[in-house]
Structure 1
């Protein structure tokens, strides 16, 4: 059960079903209330019509015993005087609100009118309130009650209207309209809702389940392929991309791009390990050979050669450690570095090199970064230039807009245009460079570019043998 509820399809279906159920219950309740109110108003209107028809007969002078009263089953009618005595009632009406209806014979005719106006002088108050003689009151009072019609007690909506006959005597006409049809209709609608609501919820849940299943089917394909890639460690595989241009399609394409980048990084790491192992093997093997010869024949020990191999091994280890830190995402320090001062310091230490370093224009410009790593970049660029130069190496610093530019060039043959990007790959040495190499492993330019990128800049060969380092000026 927990696994089922953990499914996205199950949660989506359950959520949609709950929302629809709440909406349907609220809407159904509102419909029932409105329907009941309308039917009750309709019953009240029918009762008022029946009451006014009887009141109109009284107002026109019809005797109570001769009133044309409606059928008791449809509209039970009772006429009362001010004292609550029954003046008239329907033939089949036995009781209203539990009160027995028994009109007396003396009350079946209106009181005789006296020709002497003084006999009714005390009725002035009756003429000043309510309807006047021969009129029906405009106000209607509605209330629910019960009536016994031919032995059957039922609920009715009663309408009460006051009326005065031609003699000025006040009477109240109460006419009812049955509430049984209203309750039957409301009950029928309620039953239909109770039956239809669960069926509708089942349909909503089923449709939501199917639609969600169809929408998430590509996700299951992506998950399965990722699981297979993880199990096989084959990063050349790719997840299936659905044809729909939706979020799942974008997820699949992004996943494939991530796999491609991961495959490139892993392949690069493998080549790096293989090349590093190869480069380390040579100086270690040479050093071991010299030491074994020295043990057997001390007079044959080539101490300068051993020292040279040790220095080469030390430099290679330092390069590999720096590359490992860069690959691990090490962020450079944010110190302010004056490139002109850095160039002067580095060039002053190269007085005994095979090719001298000439310092050109040095504009005072500061960048933010690691002084040690930027010094390593400058040293690698100068080493590379001296390795290929014939007689001169030049270095200059300038500011161009928001960029600090350091240029190093030599008078050598230059880098072929087709090799200007390849030389920045790790362990790459051109044939000419390999012939003139004094022990480099092909990591200097790769380290220089990686450091430049980590500092928000770039390193490229512009033309010939001009290496240009661009770094953002420190704010």
Structure 2
């Protein structure tokens, strides 16, 4: 059963307080900068600690002085009580140091003895003792009419003449003077201490936040055309220095991304301009030629350029999706089956493709994107192969688990060692690959590497006795470490 809702009116005062803080004068008084908030917080904490320490100090000081005064009075009262019990009140000596007065009263309220300055006075209090004992009292105004408090010890004892009560009092002027002096010192020293704390906190916080302000000012002045600028890194090796280093690292990535984007746009514009220009030329020729027998050839060439434009636009769209880090539909896949399907779906290859695929190698990823990796690598090999293209899939062990290794080799001219990384850059084609007969816009290997990295793997160009050797390495899915290890013989197709 649901609990009944509490009446709204019970919380109206909380809503009013919240509104007062958010919209009222407290909102304007609350500090808005980190420096001011740190100063106010430090002063508030020190003020609270100082207040607690002051109350504790005054309490301990008063309790200690009061205990000393009461001890002197109790010692004198017990001495006089022993004299009264033995009947020797006449031999009572002068009071101890610090004792203001002594008065002895019997059970009928008659003053038997008073010393030194209560002689002839009435009893200090109506006394009707029932049993012997000792009590202590503090009077705001003493029996002598002084301005200081009095601490009185009352001792009742049995004597041959009956119950007798002894009053011994001492002035608390020393206690009051110590309290006043300590309170005055705290009243003067407390604000000075708080002012010192506020000043030191303000200065220290300002010095600590000065690099942050310098970083903020520098970042505020950086536009999309000034990504080469960097924020100053303070030589403090603290959190602010690490923040500046992280900011500079971020600016490095932004600058690299901007340069890459501008280069990509320029290269894409160049690659699109060529087929569009050729296509326009062919269409203009078709319009100018009146011979119907030449139209099929002209239209066939135009369709080839349109197909090239479609492929280029598809590649550009895929690169945009990869750069945007769009999530992929991931599933556990049999990598051997993915490679086999991608190879068998190819029609009209110039040279045959031979496969050696280990069974049972499972990876996490997108079947469409992994098939695109295989297609791009085989396309690249087909452009330059002389008589054969080999696709080998196996696994190899490592310190962090098993790795799936996919190798695509051909017997073409190969890739020189000095340009093996450059072939993976977008719109990069080596001299032997620049003719239109080979086709391609220089995006196939770049797309393959980006898709491989999206799956947590790598794509590199390795050594080969002849031709090019491109190697894909992907992490094997957990619990799916089957397949042929390094040196095992995969199945040959």
Fold conserved (TM > 0.5)? Answer: yes
Deviation at 1:277, TM superposition (A): 0.6
| Aligned twin of 1:156 | 150
Equivalent in 166, 170, 173 of residue 166 of structure 2: 173
Partners of 2:156 and 2:165 within 8 A in 1: yes
Structure 2 residue aligned with 1:254: 246
What TM-score, normalized by structure 1, do the two folds share? 0.84
Gaps of 5+ in 2: 1-26, 481-493
Partner of 1:363 in structure 2? 359
Which deviates more, 183-192 or 14-23? 183-192
What does 1:10-409 align with in structure 2 at a 5 Å threshold? 10-58=36-84, 61-62=87-88, 64=90, 67-70=92-95, 74-93=99-118, 95=121, 140-145=134-139, 146-149=141-144, 152=146, 155-163=149-157, 167=160, 169-230=162-223, 233-299=225-291, 301=295, 302-401=298-397, 402-409=402-409
1:95–1:147 contact (8 Å) kept in structure 2: no
Task: Normalising by structure 2, report the TM-score.
Answer: 0.81
Distance 1:368 1:62, change over 3 A: closer
| Contact 2:80 2:89 (C-alpha < 8 Å) held by counterparts | no
Residue 390 of structure 2 aligns to a residue whose secondary structure is: strand
Sort the Cα spacing of 1:436 and 1:294 in 2 relative to 1 into closer, same or farther, 3 A.
closer
CA contact 2:42–2:198 (8 Å) conserved in 1:
yes
Unmatched segments (≥5 aa) in structure 1: 102-125, 131-138
Tell me how many residue pairs correspond in the alignment.
Answer: 437
Q: What value does the CA root-mean-square deviation take over the aligned residues?
A: 2.8
Q: Does the CA-based 8 Å contact 1:79-1:89 persist in structure 2?
A: yes
Aligned partners of 1:144 and 1:157 also within 8 Å: yes
Q: Once the 2 structures are TM-superposed, how far is the Cα of residue 364 of structure 1 from its aligned partner?
A: 4.4
Deviations 1:313-358 (A, max 9, x none): 1110010000000001022222343333334333334453322222
Q: Distance in 1 between matches of 2:112 and 2:47?
A: 55
Q: 1:437 to 1:212 in 2, by over 3 A?
A: farther
Deviates most, 20-29 or 169-178: 169-178
Residue 369 to residue 162, structure 1, CA distance change in 2 (3 Å): closer
**Higher-Rg member (1/2):** 1
Q: Distance in 1 between matches of 2:345 and 2:79?
A: 125
Following superposition, the deviation at residue 430 of structure 1 comes to: 0.7
| Mapped partners of 1:449, 1:3: distance in 2 | 58
Instruction: Verify the 8 A CA contact 1:239 1:255 in the aligned structure 2.
Output: yes
Q: In 2, distance between residues paired with 1:240 and 1:386?
A: 52
Deviates more, 1:320-329 or 1:336-345: 336-345
Q: Deviations over 1:12-50 (max 9, x none)?
A: 111111111111111110111111111211221221233
* CA deviations over 1:35-92 (Å, ceiling 9, x no partner): 111121122122123324434554565454x644449995111111122211111353
- Measured in 1, the distance between the counterparts of 2:148 and 2:115 equals 15
Q: Counterpart in 2 of 1:424?
A: 424
Distance (whole Å) between structure 2 residues aligned to residue 435 and residue 373 of structure 1:
28
Distance 1:222 1:63, change over 3 A: closer
